[in-house]
Amino acid sequence: MKNENLTLFSSKGFLALEPEPYFTLMRNLALLFALFFHLYLRGQSVSTFIDSSATGARITDALLFDNQGNLYGSDYSGNSVYKLSPSGILSTVVSSLDSPNGLAFDSQGNLFICDNTGNNIYKIDGSGRLSDSFAITNPAGIIKDLNSDTLFFTTYTGSQLMKLTPDGAILPWFSGSPLNGPVGFCYDDQGQLYLANFNDRNIYRVYPDSLQYLASLPGTPTSALGSITYAFGSIWATNFQNHKIFRVFIDYKDSVVLYAGSTAGFTDGALDSAKFRQPNGIVAKNDSLFISEFATGNIRIIANIDADLTIEKKPVFQPEIAVYPNPTSAKVYLQFTDGPRSFNYEIIDEQGALMQSGQNEQSPIDISTLEKGLYFLKFEIEGISQTIRLLKS
């Protein structure tokens, strides 16, 4: 901690933090940003924003913007985390890690880095110095709590979701099924937290006491979900081995559409013909998606993502509804302010198992045979489904 160019011993040798930029993209800067802004005039298109062969820096995993517009990226297949400033200066934030992936900032501007096989979460302060570390087995994804400096993080081994408090305490939250190699996080506009599994490509809403299934990316049995981000009312997710980008509509269960990509390739240009090579990290900024590629170490951009893309479903049905009593020990009623409606319903437990289903019209749903606990009451009206949390007392 005495040397401004801090060097610390790690499991791989030395952990070198370099606060000064090591490579300036002066030769390529004009071309890169001219291309980037030209894409806004051309509509939806894919370009290569950072070419690892030109910069020598591979960015293969998590991507993150700070409040100043700096783009951070980790190289899971290497040992470094990089920073690209809005003016085009590329620098090394930290090197000699084992397999850095998840990245997050707290409200003080400290950067937290999950070093997966290094079995640590590192805290880098605003001056670029290592200020703390936390021993964790295989940390993967990480995100800040919206209301505090507590950080939520996952572990790939053991499939855990845990909390890291500002005072350094590590607290359990969820463990095991339905978590299955959890990696990615994002928030929607309402502050709802989402979590994605690497192994089975499932995405869940995260509540204080439960995980609610939202969707699963299409893919082959061996394909995996790289990461997720949120923009324009949707979750955007990468399919790692299938070389594709998907859009997930959060108002519907399993409403997933292919947005870009097909077979493996390196093709820039029109969205419908562009190809990716193992897309992994993804982050949204303004109306663009930034995507890291595990195979190439490049960062690709999809410019002018289409906010108006819809799926062939009816408009979201949102009647005012009363569910009572809740909690209940026996029967629950659904009452709609615009009059009686016929609906199909399912009751699902916290593990996602279907416990009860049927059809009703203003008559009570009898749950007296269920064990005490938290359930999710899903009801469908006119092809549109909604979910309400239901407590059996």
Domain boundary among 246, 276, 303: 303
pLDDT at residue 263 is higher than 90: yes
Say if residue 188 is in the same domain as residue 160.
Answer: yes
Range of the domain at 78: 7-303
User: Is residue 137 in a domain?
Assistant: yes
User: Is residue 13 in a domain?
Assistant: yes
Say if residue 280 is in the same domain as residue 388.
Answer: no
pLDDT at residue 6 is higher than 70: no
Confidence band (pLDDT; 50, 70, 90) for 324? confident
Weakest-pLDDT range from 91-105, 194-208, 342-356: 342-356
Q: Which of 43-57, 102-116, 316-330 has the highest mean pLDDT?
A: 102-116
Say if residue 254 is in the same domain as residue 373.
Answer: no
User: Is residue 266 in a domain?
Assistant: yes
Q: Which residues contact 365 (CB under 8 A, 6 or more apart)?
A: 331, 332, 333, 334, 345, 347, 356, 358, 377
Phi, psi dihedrals of residue 31, rounded to the nearest 5°: -65, -45
How far is CA 350 from each of CA 174, 187, 212, 384, rounded to the nearest angstrom? 11, 21, 8, 22
Give the pair of three-digit tokens for residue 45.
């298109």
Q: Which residues contact 250 (CB under 8 A, 6 or more apart)?
A: 188, 194, 214, 233, 234, 235
Other CB atoms within a 10 A radius of the CB of residue 220 amount to 9
Residue 158: which CATH number?
2.120.10.30
Residue 367: which CATH number?
2.60.40.1930
pLDDT at residue 349 is higher than 90: no
User: Is residue 316 in a domain?
Assistant: no
Weakest-pLDDT range from 17-26, 160-169, 280-289, 312-321: 17-26
Mean pLDDT of the chain: 84
User: 41 and 84 in contact (C-beta within 8 Å)?
Assistant: no
pLDDT at residue 359 is higher than 50: yes
Tally of domains in the chain = 2
Say if residue 337 is in the same domain as residue 194.
Answer: no
Confidence band (pLDDT; 50, 70, 90) for 315? very low
Say if residue 139 is in the same domain as residue 258.
Answer: yes
pLDDT at residue 48 is higher than 90: yes
Say if residue 333 is in the same domain as residue 265.
Answer: no
Say if residue 287 is in the same domain as residue 327.
Answer: no
Say if residue 335 is in the same domain as residue 378.
Answer: yes
pLDDT at residue 337 is higher than 70: no
Locate tokens 């610390």: which residue?
8
Confidence band (pLDDT; 50, 70, 90) for 4? very low
User: Is residue 195 in a domain?
Assistant: yes
User: Is residue 90 in a domain?
Assistant: yes
Give the global pTM. 0.72
